Structure 1
Amino acid sequence: MKTSKLKTFPRSCLRGTAILLFSLFTLAALLWLYQDLESGETDLNLDRSQSFVLTNVNVITMNDQQVLPDHAIVVRDGVITELSPMAQVTADDLSIIDGKQAYVMPGLIDAHVHVLDRSYAKSALAAGVTTVRNMGGFPYHLKWRDELEKGEWFGSRMVVSSPIFNSLEQGDPLAHFRVNDPELARQAVRDYIAEGYDFIKVYEGLHAETYSAILAEANTLGVMVAGHPSYDLMHTKLEEHGALRTFEHSEEIYDGFLAQTFNDTKAEAAAQFFVDHDVALVPTLAVNRELTRLSNEKYEYLKQTDQAAITPFARFIYEQTSFKRWLNASPELAAYNLEVDAYLHHLTQRMHERGVTLVLGSDAGALTGLPGPATIDEIELMVAAGIPTHAALAAATINAAHSVDMDQQLGRIAVGFQADLVVLKENPVSTVQILRDPLMVIQQGRVFNGKDLNQLRDEAHQHSNWLLSVARHLNYLLFG
């Protein structure tokens, strides 16, 4: 009589396998519960009035280049209800904040960041960045966004992209949603929007048919798509990229439109494409300057960065990947990076000259830069590239607000807009460096004074532990 394989397989092995599988399942469940139940916190007082009158200030509305001197801003329930010369304002029922002739501009918006921890959102807010667009979302970003909306802790308002769409061949299996099937891509667009992601992020490795399907499905749903071009689609149907809300990185113009050549004639054609299709460009000069300095100055540059503000889990990953790549760059590659970096500045200035809409994005979180400080770096680099300061500030306010579909709420100082404001000692249009030292930051009417901002900076150095960071990402890999 034949004996079944099941009976001949040692029972001890079966028990061992069952125990292992049960242990793995239990560990996964515990990790899921751990990351699901934990929440953000702050030592700042959460109970803050959202109504006041800010008097004796010079207002940079961003509607034009004029400064309104000796004005007052009336805020009720987080919304600007009056903007008038001081003598005309009557709001006796509200507390008064004397601006002492400071300058007030709209809160900054960084439209390309990677928020790797709650600490990053705190870093951004402490620098006057009241809103960030997170490019490369995971389930925990949805959680953080909702916590911020409920006022459970303080940080930049978050607009969250889907996980990054990329091809099976080129996508990162640990971070990207990899897809080659157009119908699967369409379904993923529907699923991600249903899960609460605000928009779709695309990457250059996508095949033409898949990229087209993503754009078409997003258009059907009325949601925006932002990201890299598909190099495959650029060769056949370039015009389809006109559906992008924003085109990310001046480097992608150099790589895609210019085929990695310093070709100003092709740059003119690229600029015309952006203007004709009303696609905004997010230059992200700051991150390219980072890799250029890393590859040229090596550890001397790394010593100058605030590595303690990088979450330990991310720092470990970067030390094994991008840090190692650029720190070990050959002299030839380092010299090439210098050439490219200079050309990207020239290219960005040329785009501005030709009427391309610029949106500020720093790509903070991709290397050593942090949301907030890197945002100011990006503004200064744009100015250094020859872009007028007011235009650079418009990229970080009015233009960026449009990139997050909030241009009727954010990006300007106007009646009916949310009271997201930065209060500065000097006019940033004439002294752009003053952005690094805000006197006050106001987000949705909540006032953060100098002491509060210092507390936020301290909390920006308090990161989630390794286990929690890993658990969050495992949740995405297993259940996302």
Structure 2
Amino acid sequence: MKPAEILFWLFFLSFFTSSTLFSQELLINHVNVITMQDDKVLEDHSIYVKDGIIMEIVPEEAISVAGIRTLDGRGMYIFPGLAEFHAHLPNPEQFGPEFQEEVLWMYLANGVLRIRSMLGHESHLTLKERVEKGEIPGPRMFISGPSLNGNSVTSPDAGRQMVRDQKNAGYDHLKLHPWLDTPKFLAIADEAKKVGIYYGGHVSQDVGLVTSLTNGYRSVEHIDGYLEAMVTDKSKLDPTKSGPFNMLAVGEVAMSLLPGLIEMTLENKAYIAPTMTLFERYFGFQPAYELRQQPEMFYLPGQLVTQWFTTKSQLEGSGVLAEEKVKPYLEFRQKLFLELHKSGVPMIMSSDSPQVFNVPGFSIHREIESMSQAGMSNYEILKTGSVNCAEYFEQGGEWGVLKPGAAAEFVMVQKNPLENLETLKRPQAIMIGGKFMQRDEFMLELNLIRQKYIRQ
């Protein structure tokens, strides 16, 4: 352990007798602060927190608060934490309510302090409330309702009623899935605007990207619909031949159409949830047997990992995931992602977890690697998981930044993430909901989960 780390934990242990601090006030001195209001680091500053709100962030010599607990963060960096804006909280019927809480721990242990869950269940509303009341630890949540798709929406009027029902139930967002026809989609979009609820998701092929964007899609999940919009010969989009997400039709794409689609995306103020790692793992050419053995898989029920293995193995067996077929599509997605980003289209950090070989929390770091490999800067990557996510829900300045008056939500790491993204994988502490938790607590919970699901 480095001297700075030793000093940090000595100070920590001298002031805190329990692993979780339920403190009304906290002062952290000598810490380097990445506010995310710009790409600068406030070196050797103090941050004063009271009742879950940041009261002050000032140079070390400028603050004096008597009678409160103080922590020396010398050599450490704090930033607003990460978001997973395409999560799928499990349902209690799958592996029990305990698994829901385990998933929340996996997010926290990886520095994920906010999630947008994109496939709702009534138990998720209760889970959200329990976290907000401090009954259980977990990230702050935005919850989408049950899927609106070609099967669940039987008519335009039924779609309108589903929108009203989900709004009244307390959901924060609507998740649209494929196979909606245009009349159903337009009814859903119109009703959502009337009742004031965000909506987005997959782009149904009958509806198309243009109609989705011009009728208020808040987020386009998986960068869906762009490939299809750039294929002029729609006969090439036969799902029985073009593979998952029409990936085998990538050779038919007319990139000359992209600037117009980008302009339309910007005009309609839509966000992109790219889920790069989902496609690289679920639909990529890395073999299922390799992914199955990765360390994070051992924090999940063996039955779930086996289901993922079977799902991907079936695709491999069909030949659709051969490297020569998949690689051009993955390269296209990287290029599409970067062009959208460089043009100013806002990205929200999203990996789609838990999903085939994407483990909650852990998969966000794989998403970060994918965004970095595509050419996004470290600062812009952090922005996708903080500032952009807050602005998505029109809560900019309330969280996702570190400044007086904002929520006291942050992650402490050993190195400057603006220079070293690897440091994000080892949070040393987090603060959320008025609670300060150190790494020992994360590791204890993760070890208990791992022991529970140990393979015999």
Task: State the Cα deviation string for residues 350-372 of structure 1 (Å, max 9, x = none).
Answer: 11111111111111111111221
Is 1:426 aligned to 2:415, yes or no?
Answer: yes
The equivalent of 1:99 in structure 2 is 73
Is 1:310 aligned to 2:293, yes or no?
Answer: no
The equivalent of 1:3 in structure 2 is none
Question: 1:201 aligned to 153, 157, 175, which one?
Answer: 175
Provide TM-score, normalisation by structure 1: 0.80
Q: Based on CA coordinates, which of the two structures has the bigger radius of gyration?
A: 1
Q: 1:201–1:225: 8 Å Cα contact kept in structure 2?
A: yes
Question: 1:283 aligned to 254, 274, 277, which one?
Answer: 274
Question: 2:372 aligned to 357, 370, 383, which one?
Answer: 383
Question: 1:362 aligned to 325, 346, 351, which one?
Answer: 351
Opposite residue 371 of structure 2, the aligned amino acid is: M
**For 1:394, what is the secondary structure of its paired residue?**
helix
The equivalent of 2:146 in structure 1 is 163
Call closer, same or farther: CA 1:100–1:47 in 2, change over 3 Å: closer
Opposite residue 343 of structure 2, the aligned amino acid is: R
The equivalent of 2:220 in structure 1 is 247
Provide TM-score, normalisation by structure 2: 0.84
The equivalent of 1:118 in structure 2 is 101
Opposite residue 271 of structure 1, the aligned amino acid is: I
**Could you tell me how far 1:120 is from its partner in structure 2?**
1.3
CA distance in 1, matches of 2:34, 2:114: 18
Is 1:301 aligned to 2:291, yes or no?
Answer: yes
Opposite residue 272 of structure 1, the aligned amino acid is: E
**Could you tell me how far 1:237 is from its partner in structure 2?**
3.4
Task: State the Cα deviation string for residues 284-336 of structure 1 (Å, max 9, x = none).
Answer: 1011111244x44231232225322234554454355x233334242764431
CA distance in 2, matches of 1:360, 1:336: 27
Call closer, same or farther: CA 1:313–1:220 in 2, change over 3 Å: farther
Q: 2:20–2:438: 8 Å Cα contact kept in structure 1?
A: no
The equivalent of 2:240 in structure 1 is none
**Could you tell me how far 1:79 is from its partner in structure 2?**
0.6
The equivalent of 1:478 in structure 2 is none
Q: 276-285 vs 150-159, which deviates more?
A: 150-159
Question: 1:52 aligned to 14, 26, 30, which one?
Answer: 26
Question: 2:166 aligned to 192, 208, 211, which one?
Answer: 192
CA distance in 2, matches of 1:158, 1:278: 23
**Could you tell me how far 1:109 is from its partner in structure 2?**
1.1
Q: 1:107–1:442: 8 Å Cα contact kept in structure 2?
A: no
RMSD: 2.2
Call closer, same or farther: CA 1:128–1:225 in 2, change over 3 Å: same
- Contiguous gaps of at least 5 residues in structure 1: 1-43, 169-177, 465-480
CA distance in 2, matches of 1:361, 1:235: 20
**For 1:187, what is the secondary structure of its paired residue?**
helix
Is 1:338 aligned to 2:327, yes or no?
Answer: yes
Q: 1:107–1:443: 8 Å Cα contact kept in structure 2?
A: no
Call closer, same or farther: CA 1:145–1:201 in 2, change over 3 Å: same
CA distance in 1, matches of 2:451, 2:305: 14
Question: 1:237 aligned to 211, 214, 222, which one?
Answer: 211
**For 1:281, what is the secondary structure of its paired residue?**
strand
The equivalent of 1:131 in structure 2 is 114
The equivalent of 1:22 in structure 2 is none
Is 1:143 aligned to 2:126, yes or no?
Answer: yes
Task: State the Cα deviation string for residues 112-144 of structure 1 (Å, max 9, x = none).
Answer: 111222211110111110111101011121121
CA distance in 2, matches of 1:335, 1:305: 28
**For 2:206, what is the secondary structure of its paired residue?**
helix
CA distance in 2, matches of 1:236, 1:74: 47
**Could you tell me how far 1:270 is from its partner in structure 2?**
2.2
Q: 2:203–2:209: 8 Å Cα contact kept in structure 1?
A: no
Number of residue pairs matched by the alignment? 409
**Could you tell me how far 1:283 is from its partner in structure 2?**
0.7
- Contiguous gaps of at least 5 residues in structure 2: 1-17, 91-99, 232-236, 238-248
Q: 1:119–1:459: 8 Å Cα contact kept in structure 2?
A: no
**Could you tell me how far 1:381 is from its partner in structure 2?**
0.9
CA distance in 2, matches of 1:142, 1:463: 26
Opposite residue 280 of structure 1, the aligned amino acid is: Y
Task: State the Cα deviation string for residues 144-192 of structure 1 (Å, max 9, x = none).
Answer: 1111112122122221101111002xxxxxxxxx113111111111111
Q: 1:119–1:462: 8 Å Cα contact kept in structure 2?
A: no
CA distance in 1, matches of 2:204, 2:153: 13
> Aligned residues: percent identity?
25
Task: State the Cα deviation string for residues 77-111 of structure 1 (Å, max 9, x = none).
Answer: 11101111111112113210111121110021111
